[in-house]
């Protein structure tokens, strides 16, 4: 990626801060939830579960609203607006003295996190060439280590609970993102879509300089075809350059209004929407957030000597191998990685259950639990973790992008709520072994589904992807 204008680096890095904050808010309670519950005088079954659910409900709402917000104002502007929710959520959470205030903070943080899960991949897909889009890393960062030998730190003569510092740590990236995005160009794809080719041309110049090649920007090509009625690849930069020099028809109205929710059920979109909805839904049904939310509790039941350190190892493994996945995606392809990912996760969970069901010394059981879960995270990070958010902008037609991406991402968050609500009950009734056998079966189903339905999108032109997915189901 060397040699690109600084504006592209700034825009990509600023957007990815939203992904970091999305993951941080999702997992920050994992290592400190018992301390938060004690300080707020609430129980794990009541307040603890509500704090998890509050974030997820807010995220579901945020993901539903963000697609239309991006369609109306542009994905960069919508992302900048979204930093207000991320800042407010962190501030309310760190300052909470009672459970209702914490629930409000978690819901507002969820609103921003859910919106970020839609806006980050969309903006990156619309500003970056195909081979740069692997930078969409949806890693789950599980928070700062809580085992520091102290429950509080002294700041300006006052003792401050360490968990409040953990929430405060989210303020810096949110503030930085809000300021940095103001210096970034709006998506040229969106600008073309709303009839502003001159601004789109200027944005392209800022982002890519002289390195623009139409074939590297399938979404830009698709938007140009919709706006101008002729293939951008055939015309080269001519339409954009003409617009930049004053020859374009700025502010032209849409030939067709932006489609609403009903457009998603049209028969021509059936195949693409089946795959698009399955990607984020099956990601959650793999059981990933039973580990993100409850890994400390699982490790305690398995007898691991330091369950919090085990949870930190889970987050570090996820982050490390998501970065590895960024280098694999263009080499191995999306389809093989996601099939291998679901199959590997299922095998790891089945192995974990076997260790729990067979007579095993407690120490070995704890070590085996950690090894199986870390292996599970490796498989998750190379496919099922980052790929759904990367593939959605690649397969969704531009004319339904905002609404469809919001709908699919809301499925991710609503199924997240289901996992968060049911896993503690599963754990108490089925135990670790039974719970993870259920998820192992779901992973096996997901691998089979992807083997049948997933199409390869790696560096394929828009026309080819549309030909594969825009037919009716059969």
User: Could you identify the residue written with the tokens 């995005």?
Assistant: 181
SS3 category, 154:
strand
The CA distances from residue 136 to 1, 100, 132, 312, in Å, are 14, 34, 9, 22
pLDDT for the residue 129: 62
Burial 154-186 (b: 16+ CB within 10 A, else e): eeeeeeebbbbbbbbebbebbeebbebbeebbb
User: Could you identify the residue written with the tokens 């930093």?
Assistant: 83
User: Which one is predicted more confidently, 92 or 370?
Assistant: 92
pLDDT (tens digit per residue) in 28-40: 876 677 788 888 8
pLDDT (tens digit per residue) in 271-319: 889 999 999 999 989 988 777 666 666 666 656 656 566 666 777 777 7
The CA distances from residue 91 to 16, 33, 88, 96, in Å, are 21, 17, 5, 9
Q: How far apart are CA 64 and CA 68, in angstroms?
A: 8
**Does the global pTM surpass 0.85?**
no
| Tokens coding 54 | 């509050």
Do 227 and 197 touch, CB atoms closer than 8 A? yes
Q: Comparing C-alpha atoms, which of 126, 421, 110, 457 is closest to residue 279? A: 457
- Give the chain's domains with CATH numbers: 1-192 (1.20.1250.20), 193-244 (no CATH), 257-474 (1.20.1250.20)
SS3 category, 160:
strand
Q: What is the DSSP letter of 132?
A: G
Adjacent-strand bridge partners of 152:
161
Q: How far apart are CA 183 and CA 251, in angstroms?
A: 23
pLDDT (tens digit per residue) in 409-428: 888 888 888 877 777 778 77
> What value does the CA radius of gyration of the chain take, rounded to a whole number of Å?
23
The stretch 156-178 carries a mean pLDDT of 84
pLDDT for the residue 457: 81
Average pLDDT, the chain: 78
Percent of the chain whose pLDDT exceeds 90? 26
**How far does the chain reach from its first CA to its final CA, in angstroms?**
41
Which helix (H) or strand (E) element contains residue 228?
A: helix 218-228
């Amino acid at each position: 990626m060397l040699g690109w204008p600084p504006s592209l680096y700034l825009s990509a890095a600023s957007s990815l801060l939203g992904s970091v904050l999305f993951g941080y808010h999702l997992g920050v309670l994992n290592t400190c939830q018992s301390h938060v519950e004690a300080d707020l005088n609430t129980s794990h079954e009541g307040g603890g579960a509500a704090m998890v659910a509050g974030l997820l409900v807010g995220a579901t709402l945020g993901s539903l609203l963000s697609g239309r917000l991006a369609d109306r104002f542009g994905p960069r502007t919508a992302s900048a607006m979204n930093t207000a929710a991320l800042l407010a959520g962190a501030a309310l959470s760190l300052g909470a003295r009672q459970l209702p205030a914490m629930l409000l903070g978690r819901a507002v943080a969820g609103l921003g996190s859910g919106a970020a899960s839609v806006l980050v991949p969309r903006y990156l897909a619309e500003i970056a060439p195909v081979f740069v889009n692997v930078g969409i890393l949806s890693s789950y960062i599980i928070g700062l280590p809580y085992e520091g030998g102290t429950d509080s730190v002294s700041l300006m003569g006052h003792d401050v609970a360490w968990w409040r510092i953990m929430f405060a740590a989210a303020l810096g990236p949110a503030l930085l993102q809000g300021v940095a995005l103001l210096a970034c160009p709006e998506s040229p794809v969106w600008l073309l879509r709303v009839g502003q080719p001159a601004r789109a041309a200027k944005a392209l110049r800022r982002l890519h300089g002289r390195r623009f090649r139409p074939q590297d920007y399938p979404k830009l090509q698709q938007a140009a075809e919709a706006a101008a009625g002729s293939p951008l690849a055939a015309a080269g930069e001519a339409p954009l350059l003409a617009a930049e020099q004053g020859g374009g028809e700025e502010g032209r109205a849409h030939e067709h209004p932006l489609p609403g929710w009903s457009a998603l059920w049209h028969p021509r979109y059936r195949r693409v929407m089946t795959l698009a909805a399955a990607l984020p839904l099956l990601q959650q049904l793999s059981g990933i957030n039973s580990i993100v939310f409850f890994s400390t509790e699982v490790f305690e039941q398995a007898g691991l000597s330091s369950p919090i350190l085990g949870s930190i190892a889970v987050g570090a493994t996820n982050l490390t191998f998501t970065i590895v996945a960024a280098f694999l995606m263009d080499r191995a392809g999306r389809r093989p990685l996601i099939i291998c990912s679901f199959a590997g996760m299922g095998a790891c969970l089945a192995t974990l259950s076997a260790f729990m069901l067979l007579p095993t010394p407690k120490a070995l059981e704890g070590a085996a639990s950690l090894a199986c879960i870390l292996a599970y995270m490796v498989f998750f990070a190379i496919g099922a973790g980052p790929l759904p958010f990367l593939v959605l902008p690649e397969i969704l037609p531009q004319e339904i992008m905002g609404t469809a991406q919001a709908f699919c991402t809301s499925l991710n968050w609503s199924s997240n709520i289901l996992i968060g609500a049911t896993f503690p009950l599963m754990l108490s009734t089925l135990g670790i072994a039974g719970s993870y056998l259920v998820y192992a079966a779901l992973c096996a189903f997901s691998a089979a589904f992807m083997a049948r339905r997933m199409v390869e999108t790696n560096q394929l032109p828009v026309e080819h992807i549309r030909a594969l997915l825009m037919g009716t189901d059969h």
